[in-house]
Amino acid sequence: MRSIFRFSMLVFGLLAMAGLLAPTGALGVKEVKIGVIYPLTGGAAAAGRELRAGVELATKIANGVMADLPMTMAQNSGIKNLGGAKIKLIFKDHEGNPTLGADLAKKLILDDKVDGILGCYFSSVTKTVSAVCEQYNVPMINASSTSPALTKRGLKWFWRTTPHDKWFTKDLFELLKGLTEGKVQGVKAVPKKEIKNLASACEKTEWGSHVSGLIKEFAKEYGFKLRKSFLYAAKSADLSSEVRSLKASRADVMLFASYTSDAILMVKTLKAQKAHPKVIWGQDAGFEKPEFRSTLGDSISGILTRTVFLPKVVEIKKLAGQVNALYKKKTGNDLGGASARAFTGLQTWVAVLEKAGSTKPADIQAAANAIYIPGKELVVPWKGIKFSTSGDELGQNILGSGLIGQYQKGKDGKISLEIVYPFDVSSADMIFPFAGF
């Protein structure tokens, strides 16, 4: 019996040294298939291209070795705890259609046999896709949808890395409050009566509707007067009447939630009708896309947008600068809020798979609920990634944070985004009031 035992131990040791013993669920795994559902055509195609590029860059780093990048996934050449299995991306285009998104999720799960899903940018599409994932017990990580309701449904197979709109909208009102208290770099304290009157116009989508409600909620909480608030049809061909309504409100501050095509049209119409609010703020999305900047040029100087990443971050975070250089080489553009979050979403998938050491859904679920990624490994300026496992926001990353940037013309004559909030990381004096078009 002793000789049989010794022989068994010898065989076990030889197999281990040869790398033939793998963690539970890892045997025979050569690739991990992640379904990625984004708007690759239609009005948000520009965002879709950014999202795709961010995910592809993260996958390239994870599947290879880039020893100079101080992040775990750049050192392992695949998923180390799955025997070096590579990430395979399967992209699908939801076209901004929630029903199509749900159908695509089913196809990815039933036909492509994906191990998990990443997506979907549009909160309305994320809502339907996550419901499908919940039905089939398939893990989904969301990196870029910001409707607060998404993590209030008690889902067990859904995790969100990005902060949501309640956090971002609160940041806006903290900025306005800071203006009245003299906290904004380069601006003397502004009497509250000069910026007290607000107006908001948000597109009628899952995301826009929630933003509109949050603006109403925070306006009341912070003591501002919301003189006008309405939802408009997404992908509008004309916004003339909406802008006339905004002008008629005599608002000091105008607030928007619009995807790319609507954001561009809204600003063009504001310019055509010579609107002169003191502050214009966009809830990221279309207000941060390269097309917004290239189409509208100098006219956007002074406009604010919330985001989670700005090129200025590279000046305070070396890793962000390194990844930004790789992204710029790939696309010709700097990382933005969409691409940086997409990159982080795929990075989170890699970390979860490493911790799970398995592609079994239950193992991935347990790993996601226990994961912690330190902020030093992220390109975004967050404290890290750790998901809530209790309370009314299951699956929400509790370590994220936002930025507010302002378009300004630099000494080189080019328009770029400067950080104006949080106040302690401001990269330039804020332009106030908005100079007009």
Are 203 and 297 within one domain? Answer: yes
Residue-number span of the structural domain to which 172 is assigned: 166-307+402-425
Query: Are residues 88 and 218 both part of a single domain?
Result: no
Q: Do 60 and 120 fall into the same domain?
A: yes
Say if residue 285 is in the same domain as residue 408. yes
What domain count does the chain have? 2
Tokens of 250: 């005599």
Name the packing angle between helices 318-331 and 45-63 (round to 10°).
120
For residues 419 and 280, state if they share a domain.
yes
In-domain check, residue 8: no
Look at residue 155 and tell me if it is in a domain.
yes
Same domain, 172 and 265: yes
Domain membership of residue 113 (yes or no) is yes
CA distance 146 to 184: 26
Whether the upstream peptide bond of residue 120 has omega within 30° of 0, thus cis, is yes
Single-letter amino acid code for the residue at 179? L
Cα 159 to Cα 386: distance, rounded to the nearest angstrom? 10
Q: What pLDDT shows up at residue 27?
A: 53
DSSP secondary structure letters along 392-431 = T-TTBBSS---EEEEEEE-TTS-EEEEEEESGGG--S---
Q: Is position 219 within any domain?
A: yes
Q: Which pLDDT value is given to residue 32?
A: 98
The whole-angstrom separation of Cα 129 and Cα 174 is 33
Alpha-carbon distance of 217 to 193, in angstroms, equals 19
If asked whether residues 292 and 177 sit together in one domain, one would say yes
CA distance 21 to 27: 8
**Is residue 2 one of the residues assigned to a domain?**
no
- CATH value at residue 420: 3.40.50.2300
Residue 35 inside a domain? The answer is yes
Residue 341 falls inside a structural domain: yes
- Domain match, 188 and 324 both: no
Q: What is the pLDDT of residue 286?
A: 87
Q: Are residue 159 and residue 175 in the same domain, yes or no? A: no
Q: Residue 195: inside a domain, yes or no?
A: yes
DSSP 71: S
Distance from C-alpha of 290 to C-alpha of 417, rounded to nearest angstrom = 11
pLDDT value, residue 7: 41
The two structure tokens encoding residue 279: 């502050």
294, 365: one domain: no
Pair (192, 276) in one structural domain: yes
Same domain, yes or no: 411 and 286: yes
| pLDDT tens sequence for the chain (437 residues) | 444 434 444 444 444 444 444 444 455 679 999 999 999 998 889 889 999 999 999 999 999 999 999 999 999 999 999 999 999 999 999 999 999 999 999 999 999 999 999 999 999 999 999 999 999 999 999 999 988 999 999 999 999 999 998 999 999 999 999 999 999 999 999 999 999 999 999 999 888 999 999 999 999 999 999 999 999 998 889 999 999 999 999 999 999 999 889 999 999 999 999 999 999 999 888 898 888 999 999 999 999 999 888 888 888 889 999 999 999 999 999 998 899 999 999 999 999 999 999 999 999 999 999 999 999 999 998 999 999 999 999 999 999 989 999 999 988 888 989 999 999 889 999 999 998 77
Structure-block tokens of residue 122:
């549009």
